[in-house]
Each structure stands twice: as C-alpha cells, then as structure tokens.
Amino acid sequence: MISKPFLLLDCNLSSESGETFCNAVERAALPQTEFVSYRLADSAEPDWLRHVLDGKFCGIVVSGSAASPKEEEPWVVRLVREIREATMQGVPTLGICFGHQLIAYAWDGDVGEDVLGYKVRGIQPVTIEDTTLSPSLLLNGGQGEIEVLASHRDQVLSAPDDWLVVGHSSYCPIQALRAPNLPILTVQWHPEGDKNFIRDNPHPDWESLPYERLSKLSGHNVLANFLALHVSSNEKSML
C-alpha cells in the first residue's frame, strides 16, 4: 500500500535557495519517500493547512530560512499561527534551523540572536540527552555527543513550557527540542546539509570545511530517522 507523502514547508526567501533546502531534504530521504512542497514566502495564501487537517500527510518538515520567526512579514505571521494549529493535531513534525525556532516561538518560546553575536557556520559538537524516548531519533541510546552542520545566527533562547531540551552545546543551550505529548522534534542544525547544499550556498566560511566528513555527520541521522519512522507508522496505520 502506498503511504501518504510528507509535507515540506519551504521557508526560504529566495526561490533558488529554497530549492536547495527542499532538494537537500529529498536527497537525504529514502528513494520511495514522497514529498509535497509549498513555498511560503512567494505565496500570499498557501493553502497547506487545510490539507494537513484533512489528514493528507504523514508528517511535516519545516525548512530553514534567512527569515526570523519574529518578523512581521505576513507569511511569517501566518505561519507562526498555522504551524501551531497543525502541530496541535498530532501530525509528526520536524523543524530544521528556522523551523526549530519557528515551532518553539509558535508554542510561546523565545527566539533571538545567539550569545556569540555572529552567524555560526561549520561542523559543531552537540550533546544529546534524550533517554525518555525509545528509540531516540537523535542518537542511538539517547545520550552522548554528535557532530552537526551549523549555519545560523538566531537560536531558541527559552523553550516552550514543559518541552524537553534534548540537545545542547556550549554556544547554543537549546540545540534540539521535543514536545512532551506530541510527535514534534526540532533541531537547530542542518541534517540535510550535504556537499551540494554547501556548493549551492557559497560562503567564505565554508572554504575550510572538510567535505569528506559531511556525509558521515551523526547529526544527519535525525532527518532519515524521522522520515523512516513516520513513513513506517503511517503504513502500519493503513493496513
């Protein structure tokens, strides 16, 4: 039986970079995983929420963006409101970078610039503490250190009430969040970040990046694990 597709909310400001985010997510997925993408910044009335509420997707992935969840741009204001409504329905959701910040903000957390005051780019260590969920989508065993690809200036400054901080680092105390009673997981890093992602987003900070390590970063596993788990869950529910 064919499973439902995932909804990929493309939040980037540039259509060119937006394709980079979406393509990178799709490259990281198993070949049979299907996606439906909505570009939000280009559309005044993206009608994705109705399809979520109608049960047409097995999960949601919210992409990165150069935007901030606190911006007064109409599409951002609407997305803050609608992502809370969507996630309250129990649809499995993964937030990546901006998606991490946006979902936390939508659930009354706070977002702002990190303590370093400049954009962090490159491979960074993150400590995972997620032993209350089995299996953990972040790290086998749920506790230890992973390596992630970071590219962000903003970060989550305070978590929503009762949400679990399941990943942290020295410069970013809230690297990953999990809702206590809903299948929502958010991460500050880019688990979709492969060589093409770097090439399509050129920056001097990437020049010394050890490209051979990109495909082996343990922080990348969260995307594949999330997609595989919820495709499987959806297929079982349809039997």
**CATH number of the domain residue 149 falls in:** 3.40.50.880
Asked, for residue 77, whether it belongs to a domain, the answer is: yes
The pLDDT, as a whole number, for residue 231 is: 79
Asked, for residue 90, whether it belongs to a domain, the answer is: yes
Q: What mean pLDDT comes out for the span 48-55?
A: 94
Q: What mean pLDDT comes out for the span 201-224?
A: 85
Residue 230 a catalytic site member: no
Supply the mean pLDDT for the chain: 87
For the question of whether the overall pTM of this predicted structure is more than 0.85, the answer is yes
Question: Whose CA is closest to 221, among 8, 21, 29, 5?
Answer: 29
Q: What is the 3-state secondary structure (H, E, C) of 11-28?
A: CCCCHHHHHHHHHHHHHH
In angstroms, the CA 19 to CA 10 distance is 8
In angstroms, the CA 17 to CA 87 distance is 26
Burial 139-153 (b: 16+ CB within 10 A, else e): beebeeebbbbbbbe
Q: Residue 212: is its pLDDT beyond 60?
A: yes
Asked, for residue 27, whether it belongs to a domain, the answer is: yes
Asked, for residue 115, whether it belongs to a domain, the answer is: yes
Q: Which one is predicted more confidently, 230 or 126?
A: 126
Encoded tokens for 183: 């299948």
Encoded tokens for 175: 């690297």
* pLDDT tens sequence across 151-204: 888 999 999 999 999 999 998 999 999 998 999 999 999 999 888 888 877 777
Q: Residue 66: is its pLDDT beyond 50?
A: yes
Per the residue annotation, which of 97, 172, 220, 230 is the catalytic one? 97
Q: What mean pLDDT comes out for the span 141-156?
A: 91
The pLDDT, as a whole number, for residue 1 is: 47
* pLDDT tens sequence across 13-51: 876 666 678 888 998 888 888 999 998 887 666 789 999
Instruction: Kindly report which listed range (63-67, 89-93, 206-210) carries the lowest average pLDDT score.
Output: 206-210
Per the residue annotation, which of 82, 192, 220, 230 is the catalytic one? 192
Instruction: Kindly report which listed range (59-63, 114-118, 210-214) carries the lowest average pLDDT score.
Output: 114-118
Asked, for residue 1, whether it belongs to a domain, the answer is: no
Residue 19 a catalytic site member: no
Q: Which one is predicted more confidently, 228 or 237?
A: 228
Residue 190 a catalytic site member: yes
The pLDDT, as a whole number, for residue 68 is: 92
In angstroms, the CA 184 to CA 181 distance is 9
Contact (Cβ atoms closer than 8 angstroms) between residue 199 and residue 107 = no
Name the pLDDT band for 239 (thresholds 50, 70, 90). Answer: very low
Asked, for residue 108, whether it belongs to a domain, the answer is: yes
Backbone dihedral region for residue 142 (phi beyond 0: left; psi -120 to 50: alpha; all else: beta)? left
Could you list the residue range(s) of the whole structural domain that residue 86 is in? Answer: 6-238
The pLDDT, as a whole number, for residue 163 is: 97
Tokens 């922080």 -> residue: 219
Number of other residues whose CB lies within 10 A of the CB of residue 55: 10
In angstroms, the CA 16 to CA 18 distance is 5
The pLDDT, as a whole number, for residue 238 is: 41
* Number of domains composing the chain: 1
Asked, for residue 103, whether it belongs to a domain, the answer is: yes
The pLDDT, as a whole number, for residue 44 is: 66
Per the residue annotation, which of 152, 190, 220, 230 is the catalytic one? 190
